[in-house]
Amino acid sequence: MERGLGSTVCLAAPLNISASKPSMIYGYHLAFSNELQDEHTPNTIKISPSDFIDSSTCFNIQVYQNNQEKNVTLATDRVFDKPEIGQKWFFQVEDTIEFMWETQSGKISYRFLAEATEDIFRFWLYHIVLPIYFSIGEVYKFLHAGAVEIEDKSVLFMAPSHGGKSTLTDYFIQRGHPLITDDKMATFEREGVYYAVPAHPYHRPFRTVEVLGHLCENPSTQIHPIHAIYILEKSAPDAQITIRTLKGIEKFSRLHEGGEMNFSFFTPQYVSYLAGLANRVNVFAITVPHDLERLKEVYTVITNHTLQLQG
């Protein structure tokens, strides 16, 4: 494996990240601090700047061009296998920012590079780094989904990229439904029940590179069991809106297509988790006419259908 992240130009880390931004993300408080302190507070992740992040002993796991048009690198300090406590992880966005943390440490340090701003920093932290942190730390399993609350019930929308998840999620938000997530759905299982964890209160109905998104006025603040998952299927503009219940291998396959943060070393656990989710949660396919004027109909169909489901 290629060693090292390469040389970069760095700037002094900002001393004061704005404290006015939301601090509860994926069920955790984010404590922005100028210094990493040793004590660990439950359900808190300390985010601190660092003038120097030692990447000299890391192995690159994945180097790819992110859809944000930047080269990003994920690396670790040992052979890429099941994560261990204390294992170091590095995430670098070319010319922009670096993050470093240890598995389940409750601390993330960062270093601004030439193109970093506070908003760009928060974009990468909320949208990418924290999901990676929680996945590697085996805190949550992620799905690629939008999700909202419908009368205190967590409802997920899944579809391939450009499949209409964000548009539909945005439609629900505009009608007052609390936003759970617009892209990465953090989930966990406890005693056979699968829960949806509110992500962050930003919504990006139109995907612009490295933009954090609109601050949602009504974000979800509660963790509820997943009530239903709707897989969106694009249909002709004048097609009838139909809902069918998915079963068996088709259900599993559709959920697997929407997998997120599925690292190779976790594949058996992730597959087992998805199977459990498939067996416990109602999953439906809904045809969505390719006509924005008919979103209201889709909204009504989903809302009525969801509220009729037991549980």
Partner 1 sequence: MNLESRYTIPSTVLLQCIDDETLLFNSSNELFFALNEMGAVMWEMMSKSHSLQEIFDEMVELFEVDNSVLSNDIIAFANTLAEQGLLSFETKV
Binding site for partner 1 (CB under 8 A): 247-249, 251-253, 256, 267-268, 271-272, 275, 278-279
| Residues 203/173, Cβ–Cβ less than 8 Å | yes
Distance (Å, rounded) from C-alpha 68 to C-alpha 268? 30
The candidate with the shortest Cα–Cα distance to 135, out of 162, 170, 94, 103, is 103
Cβ-based nearer residue to partner 1, 31 or 275: 275
Q: Apex CA 93: angle with CA 6 and CA 69, to 5°? A: 120
* Half-sphere exposure (Cβ direction) of 108: Cα atoms closer than 13 Å: 27
Pull the structure tokens for residue 208: 């612009």
CB of 242 to partner 1, least distance (A): 20
The helix-helix angle for 267-280 and 248-257 (nearest 10°) equals 130
For the bound state, the minimum distance from the C-beta of residue 264 to partner 1, rounded and expressed in Å, comes to 8
Q: How far apart are the C-alpha atoms of 259 and 249, rounded to whole Å?
A: 15
The H-assigned helical ranges of the chain are: 118-124, 130-136, 165-174, 248-257, 267-280, 295-308
